[in-house]
Amino acid sequence: MNFRIFMQYEPKPTEPMRKYILYFFAFLAITQTSNAQTVKNVQALAQKNSVIITYDLVASNPDQKFEVEIRSSINNYTTALNEVSGDVGPDQTPGIGKTITWAAIKEQGNFSGSVTFEISALLTFSPLTITNPTTGSSAKLGKSLDVKWQGGDRGRNLKMAILQGNNTVTEIPSVGSTGSYNWVVPKTLSKGDNYQIKLFDPTKPKTAAMSAEFQLKKTSILIYVIPAAVLLGVGAAVLLGGGGDGGSDPVDCATNPTHPDCVTGTIGTELATPPPPPGGGN
C-alpha cells in the first residue's frame, strides 16, 4: 500500500532549515493488495531539524507483519530514506498512530522547495491459514487433492503432514511456498473420517496451521453389465446360424448326402432296422 504526501517548506534566514511551513498534503498513488492492508490517516509535521510523520496501518490480521519504507521526490523515489526512525523498516505490525521521524537536515542538508514523500507497507508475513480442504469435503485414494493455503513467510518452503485423529500417517518434506500443492493421496492409506492436513515452517513448528477435517474414500470401480436382452439376441443369432460349425458354409447335400445335416428321418428308420441273419435265413 503506497501513499504520498506533498509538503513544501522554507528555511528562515536566521534559522536555516530549523522550521518548515507545511502547505498541504494529499494522498496519491493508492494501490490495494489482496491482503487488504491499508495505510491511512497520514499526517506530517515539520519540527526543528526533522519531519514527523504519523500514520495508521490497518490489516486483516493483527499478527501480520510489514516492511515499511519512506521514499521521496528528492531522488525520484529511487531509494528509501536512510535517516529515519520509529515505526519504519521490517517486522512492523498493524496499529493506530504509528510514528516515523525523518532527520531531514542530517540526510539532505540545506535546501528549500517542495518534496513529495511516498510511504509503502509491504506484507512480509501472515499467519498460515489452510483454505482447502474444507469441512465435510472428501478425497479419493490414489487421486489428487489440491491443498490451498494463505500466509506464511515469503519464499519459505513449508512441510506438510497428514493426520488421522492425533496420529501422523504420512509426511511431505517440502510443499513450497506458492499457496497450493497438488497432493496425490497414497493408496496405502485407509479410508475413513477425521483426516486433517498440518502445514508448518520446519524452523517454526509452533506456528503450524491445521485444516478442517475431511474424509478419504476408495476409488470407484466401474463395472459394465450387458443387458439380458442383448445376450438373448446373441444366442438367437447363433441358433439361426445352424449347426455347431459356428458360421461355416452350408453343406451341399447333393454331393454329401451322408452329412449329419443331410440325413432325413427315413434314413434314420432304415438304419434302425436290424440286418438279416447270416446265411440268408429268415
pLDDT at 183 over 50: yes
**What pLDDT does 12 receive?**
45
Numbers of helices and strands, H then E, in the chain? 3, 17
163 touches 169 (CB < 8 A): yes
Of 164 and 34, more confident: 164
Domains of the chain with bracketed CATH: 2-124 (2.60.40), 129-217 (2.60.40.1930)
C-alpha cell, 190: 485407509
Cis peptide bond upstream of 257, omega within 30: no
Q: Which of 104-108, 157-161, 259-263, 264-268 has the lowest mean pLDDT?
A: 264-268
Q: Cα(217)–Cα(195) distance, rounded to whole angstroms?
A: 11
57 touches 33 (CB < 8 A): no
C-alpha cell, 201: 515452517
State which of 28-42, 43-57, 73-87, 264-278 shows the largest mean pLDDT: 73-87
E strand residue ranges, the chain: 2-9, 38-47, 50-58, 65-72, 84-86, 89-92, 95-102, 113-125, 129-132, 138-140, 144-150, 159-164, 167-172, 180-184, 192-201, 204-210, 214-217
**What pLDDT does 154 receive?**
75
